[in-house]
Amino acid sequence: MRRAPKDTAESIRKISRRGIILGGVQLAFAGALGLRMQHLQVDQADEFRLLAEENRINIRLIPPTRGQIFDRNGVTLAANEPSYRITMVREDAGNVDDVIARLSTLVELDEDELNRALAEMERSAPFLPVTVAERVTWDDISRVAVNAPALPGVTPEVGLSRIYPRRGDFAHAVGYVGPVSERDLARYETPDPVLRIPRFQIGKVGIESRFEEDLRGRAGAKRVEVNAVGRVMRELDRREGTPGADMQLTVDAKLQSYIQARLGEESASVVVMDVTNGDLLGIASSPSYDPNKFVRGISVADFGDLRDNDHRPLASKTVQDAYPPGSTFKMITALAAMDAGVVAPDETVWCPGHMEVGGRRFHCWKRAGHGHMNLEQSLRESCDVYYYDLALKVGIDRIAETARRFGLGQAFGIGMSAVTSGLVPNKEWKRTERDADWRIGDTVNASIGQGYVLSSPLQLAVMTARLATGTAIEPRLVRSVAGVDRPVIGTDSMGFNENHLRQIRRAMYAVSNNRRGTAYGSRVIEDAYRIAGKTGTSQVRNITAAERARGVTRNEDLPWNRRDHALFVNYAPFENPRIAVSVIVEHGGGGSRAAAPIGRDVTLQALYGEDPPLEAYPTKDRGRIKDQQERLRQVLQANDIDASSRA
């Protein structure tokens, strides 16, 4: 049946309207798509080009060359040496086990290091290189290079690694570097990206740690082209980094080596300080250790030996340890009393061998007593009772104030690790720290450097330098960084009465040059280099009444770790001071026997710059000193040969 014309026209209108609507929608969609394509291809072309470039090109960091460290005369203390290693790319190697087997016939592979490398290969992408042998020799590298066709995926490489040519001589001062740990990263709010480079090394202790950012330098960068899976195709360009700053220390490598050799295996420390500018010419702790072992990755056995050694080779005794200063503190007590006007140098105190204070008997080291003692005599013969009497007159607060002005109780920022502030106690300190009242017996003990008083060898050297010069000189270990000198601090007068200081100096001269002086046995004969010093002995245990009644056991009859510490401080020359020296021998017994001879030998070595003539020593000592010089000379020559081979 045919449709009516009216119905046909209506259908045509509906179809045309729908077509127009559909066409409009299609046209709108095409227009929107066109506008979007214009936005992406034209308006955002640069942005997407950059994104594409970043997917194709990677920027990789180049580790900077670490700055070197030198002594005051340019002797290398920390340097960088070529470090050869062998890497392997797993996907290029194919059968890793077969390649490792062939490689092991050419190069000796450490089993632990190899197992670590294999485990790293499993974790890493197959195209990334993994180190399978580190610190191999040039001969090893040569053999691998010659046999390269038989070693697919194996590549010999060269980098830089830290080396310490003088080994243990500067271990405590310079420190060492090691791989970056999570603990190292936690020290920085925003860690330098270079610290995340695998096996990158960072300063762990000492100067290496304290001046890490100066020594590290700034990383360079290289642009490499990579494919879709991240494999490097080629290097496009390279920008070398900025090397770390070189540093020069104030120490004298020759003197430092002598001190270490002179101390031998003693548990001891020595500080030598230039009194005119604060330069630390020597700062040695004994025994020491080889920092190169830490750079290479110290073995468990080697670290255990160092950790368990009762002489504590890992400790920086010169700055980290604090000891009762013993009789070396008596100059502070005397100066505090004179400055307070409670005693004159010629006033005497009677020493019967003890003093009764608060119902307790405080003994002098000389049981029979010294009799009448004035200032010079009391320091010369180290009479304890004289200083008990002074302390009761002047009080602990005045003594503590004087001690702090001479550098005790202060942590000097010289760049070494774990620098102690020691302890200079007073009434407020005991109330705050011990929740107890200060007792009169505490004052008596403090007057002779016992009780709560603690000081480091560095602080004792500073104290001695300030006594010698009357200036507030401060110690300096770093001489320059990147060629820029660091300032000398504290050349102004301390403001003490010069006459009082002269009285102290004269008494210290008598200690070393008067026949009754406690250090007379370690005197210097050469007039131009005579020394002024003070011995000290600090107890590490209390002597009971029962022990005194039956006669106190001699130090040498006690176990080593129960013996007294031996101390000696001095400056020289007496007429024109140039250096100050402090010596502490742990559990060495008496200061006059164990510490003073070391102090004299080190002083003369520093003043002469070489082995001093035998004429500088007393006649009776010359034979022994000659043998000692020959023995130490052989040790130092062997060390120099070893250092030269490492430099």
Q: Please state, in angstroms and rounded to a whole number, the distance separating the CA atoms of residues 349 and 369.
A: 11
Show the tokens assigned to 87.
């890497």
Report DSSP state, residue 63: P
Distance separating alpha carbons of residues 306 and 323, to the nearest angstrom: 22
Kindly report the length of the chain: 647
* Known catalytic residue at 327: yes
Cis before 345? omega within 30: no
Q: Are 279 and 530 in contact (CB under 8 A)?
A: no
- The 8-class DSSP code of residue 270 comes to E
Q: Which residues contact 351 (CB under 8 A, 6 or more apart)?
A: 364, 366, 369, 370, 371, 372, 373, 383, 384, 385, 386
**Within 10 Å of residue 139's Cβ, how many Cβ atoms?**
11
Q: In Å, what is the CA distance from 548 to each residue of 326, 332, 424, 472, 544?
A: 20, 29, 29, 42, 6
Instruction: Burial-class residue 617 by CB neighbours within 10 Å (0-12, 13-18, 19+).
Output: buried
Phi, psi of 244 (to 5 degrees): -65, 160
Q: Which two tokens stand for residue 617?
A: 């020593």
Burial class (CB in 10 A: 0-12, 13-18, 19+), 98: exposed
* Burial of 394 per CB tally in 10 Å (0-12, 13-18, 19+): buried
Contact 384, 365 (CB under 8 A): yes
H/E/C letters for each residue in 498-539?
HHHHHHHHHHHHHHHHCCCCCCHHHCCCCHHHCCEEEEEEEC
Nearest to 609 by CA among 264, 272, 271, 252: 252
- Rounded CA separation 447/34 (Å): 94
Q: Which of 209, 288, 327, 456 is catalytic?
A: 327
The whole-angstrom distance between residue 423's C-alpha and the CA centroid of its chain comes to 21
CA distances from 506 to 1, 298, 372, 399, 531 (A): 144, 51, 19, 21, 11
Identify the sign of the CA torsion 183, 186, 192, 198. positive
What is the largest distance, in Å, between two alpha-carbon atoms of the chain?
153
Question: DSSP letter string over 577-599?
Answer: --EEEEEEETT---IIIIIHHHH
> Who contacts 551 (Cβ-Cβ below 8 Å, separation ≥6)?
none
Residues with catalytic roles: 327
